[in-house]
Amino acid sequence: MTSELFSPLLLRSGQVLANRIAKAAMEENMAGDGQLPDERILTLYRRWAAGGAGLLITGNVMVHAEALTAPSGIVLDERSPLKPFAEWAKAAKSGGAAVWMQINHPGRQVASDMPGVVWGPSDIGVSLGRHSGRFGRPTAMTPRQIDDTVTRFAVTAHRAERAGFDGVEIHAAHGYLLSQFLSLLVNRRTDRWGGPLGNRARLLFDVVRAIRGVVPPSFAVAVKLNSADFQRGGFDADDARQVIGMLEPLGVDLVELSGDSYESPAMTGRPADDSTRAREAYFLDLATDLVVTSALPLMLTGGIPRRVTAERVLHNGVALVGMGTALAVTPDLPERWRNHREADRLMEPVTWSDKALASAASMAQVRHQMRRLARGRRTGFGTSPALALMSERRKQRLALRRYRAWLTATRRTEST
């Protein structure tokens, strides 16, 4: 099985990945001035580039400057200078891996203190109990706003290709905008974007078609999709199976399977639904079922810290193994596996009873490790989840002030 882990993967675009290990997207929250990548991002991706993965997928890049998942998010739109992104692509490709940019729109998952817009398929807000006020109240998108969003995705993909990226991954999971349209729990529309699954998937399909229309055939286009969102009445494995089938004729190279959302944070190891279990390869059972009918190669992400787990994923028919937290802690883990070594230490899950806070603390710990790597340091385990969370919130408050000033200046420029 080791040879399979390090065997190449040919995609329908003609792109060849050197092996079956991918660095999955993790939201770095490291935008520099102008919501652009800076030297920290370049240093971080050079570390991963030297680590031996066949594919590096960036943390989500925003297609709409007025809709960010966090104030320190990176934006690539029609006004963004391309040079910083070209430098990012070059750094990420320095070790021979392919590099794809994950592109995203948060929809309703925008913090309530953020400027800009909070959109959704319907006006249903994020439900997090006593934490619900952390997110803004969404307004239902108009047809014009939906069409403009399709255009924004295509513009970002086209500019990513010009900057030297090898592909894009369209984020349609984790409760973000495209995932919101797919879910009956969030999408209550009665027009052509609501109701039957084909209508709810229309926005995703239009985004794929628009991107394929502006990039060359050799440029990879992937989709990140929830295998299930673990909410009763929400997007489930049968929905995922149907969407994958409908994506196949649209020129998609790969579908990455993940799961969860802010409302059901399964990937933290503390799933909200008691029917899921905190274990390695969280979504493997669902992925194994979907492999049977999928005409597209599948990538599985979530809880894969050891080589034996990665090999088990491939043995079940999945084409590509995606790792996030494991590579934030041990950036050279693929090279270690090649040499029959494992990580020196794994990150412990945050098991607080408040699952929303546990999820936030878990993500803060991962970002703490990425920032150490971005400063050229080794990862370390001396920071508690509570301290990491407090530090993250302090950094985000500073980033929010910078983002507000930048967005105000951008609007002023556009109006003159």
d(CA 137, CA 338): 48
pLDDT at res. 140: 98
pLDDT reported for residue 55: 98
pLDDT band at 129 (very low <50, low <70, confident <90, very high): confident
Query: For residue 263, what pLDDT band results from cuts at 50, 70 and 90?
Result: low
Give tens-digit pLDDT for 160-191.
Answer: 999 999 999 999 999 999 999 999 999 999 99
Tokens in use for 97? 């891996």
Q: Where would I find the H helices in 76-142?
A: 83-92
- The per-residue pLDDT for 255 is 97
Confidence of residue 223 (pLDDT cuts 50, 70, 90): very high
- Give the largest CA-CA distance in the chain: 61
CA distances from 294 to 65, 222, 313 (A): 35, 14, 16
Residue 412: pLDDT band (50, 70, 90) is: confident
Cα angle 296, 302, 306 (rounded to 5 degrees) comes to 105
Question: pLDDT, tens digit, for every residue of 8-49?
Answer: 999 999 999 999 999 999 999 999 999 999 999 999 999 999
CB–CB of 109/262 below 8 Å? yes
CB 350 within 8 A of CB 268: yes
Q: How many CA atoms lie within 13 A of 222 on its CB side?
A: 30
pLDDT tens readout for residues 295-354: 999 999 988 999 999 999 999 999 999 999 999 999 999 999 999 999 999 988 899 999
Round to whole Å and give the CA distance between 358 and 128: 13
Q: What is the pLDDT of residue 269?
A: 45
- Given a contact cutoff of 8 angstroms between Cβ atoms, the answer to whether 283 and 258 are in contact is yes
Superfamily of domain 2-415: Aldolase class I (3.20.20.70)
Residues 277-286: what's their mean pLDDT?
71
Reported as a pLDDT band with limits 50, 70 and 90, residue 395 is very high
Residue 237 reports pLDDT greater than 80: yes
Average of per-residue pLDDT across 365-373: 96
Q: What is the pLDDT of residue 382?
A: 84
Query: 320 forms bridges with which residues in the sheet?
Result: 299
What is the model's pLDDT at position 277? 37
Separation CA 245–CA 295 (nearest Å)? 7
The residue among 255 and 263 whose pLDDT is bigger is 255
Contact partners, residue 281, CB within 8 Å, separation at least 6: 300, 302, 303, 304, 309, 312, 313
